[in-house]
Structure 1
């Protein structure tokens, strides 16, 4: 953060440190969802805009400054809202919503994180299946009829599931959850 603030003048870092600390402590933290200052002191830090709430301000310059600052903040907030809407629209163009019903056949992507250290080979199949969907937990999570020899959870994120399309018109039959992953076409 200091590197960004001081830019071409690295020797003035000590003069900027107070401003950087204030900026960091007055911004919402991604993990806690709260401002660090408010966690420590149980109140929001005072900003320049806070002079706008002074009810008996006799200085016209201070009142004008507070009004200009409040207007600027409103414009910035509106611009950020517009910008975020554009980003969301662009991202949504490339998104595809997947919905599976119980009984649908899916291919499952098994990620390295699902296995103990050393149990996953980078040369193993990326997708296995087909397996039947047993139930939907929420729009993002499904329980799949995964054979027990995989030794991993049967709950998968929708991003790790792909609809199964058989290579030919022959019907695909799965006998049980203990079936081999190569039955029914596999990959």
Structure 2
């Protein structure tokens, strides 16, 4: 936070320390949902933009300023809402619906992050499969049955899962490696 506040004047960090502390204590915490200031003092701190806490005064210039500033804040809020709706529409246009059932055959993408350092190869296959879905964790995550050689988590986000479409018309059945080897030995 200090690096962002001092920018090109790093030796002046002491000048912005108070602002940084106030900003940190006034922002809601992700875990508690409340700002540290609110937890300690049972109310949110008064900020410059909080014109609601100003008492009704008889000065027409102060009243006009307050009304204009309140209108400006409302306009900004409405603009942010419209902007977020546009962003959502753009993202939703590229989103693909992915609903799989347990037992469906899918192809999964193995990203570089899934491998230990030095084990990833640029020339390795990007997708492996077909592999069956073993469990649905939620609409966004599925657990698949990976081959025994894969030393990575078997849980995948839907962005890394594609439905498998066979090039053959015959139904595909997966069998364990033991039954495959015993069938091959009988022939």
Short-chain TM bin: 0.7 to 0.9
Instruction: Give distance in 2, aligned partners of 1:172 and 1:86.
Output: 43
Find the counterpart in structure 2 of residue 143 from structure 1. 143
Deviations 1:7-37 (A, max 9, x none): xxx9xx99x969x859965985897777687
- Larger relative contact order, structure 1 or 2 (CA cutoff 8 Å, min sep 6): 1
2:142 equivalent to 1:104? no
Q: Is the 8 A contact 1:147 1:177 kept in 2?
A: no
Instruction: Give distance in 2, aligned partners of 1:170 and 1:144.
Output: 23
Per the TM alignment, residue 147 of structure 1 is displaced from its structure 2 partner at its CA by 2.0
Counting only pairs closer than 5 Å after superposition, residues 50-129 of structure 1 correspond to structure 2 as 50-129=50-129
Structure 2 unaligned runs (5+)? Answer: 181-187
> What is the root-mean-square deviation in Å for CA atoms of aligned residues?
3.4
Find the counterpart in structure 1 of residue 152 from structure 2. 152
Q: Is the 8 A contact 2:102 2:132 kept in 1?
A: yes
Find the counterpart in structure 2 of residue 173 from structure 1. 173
Q: How many residues align?
A: 173
Instruction: Give distance in 2, aligned partners of 1:178 and 1:48.
Output: 72
TM-score, normalization by structure 1: 0.72
Per the TM alignment, residue 170 of structure 1 is displaced from its structure 2 partner at its CA by 2.2
TM-score, normalization by structure 2: 0.72
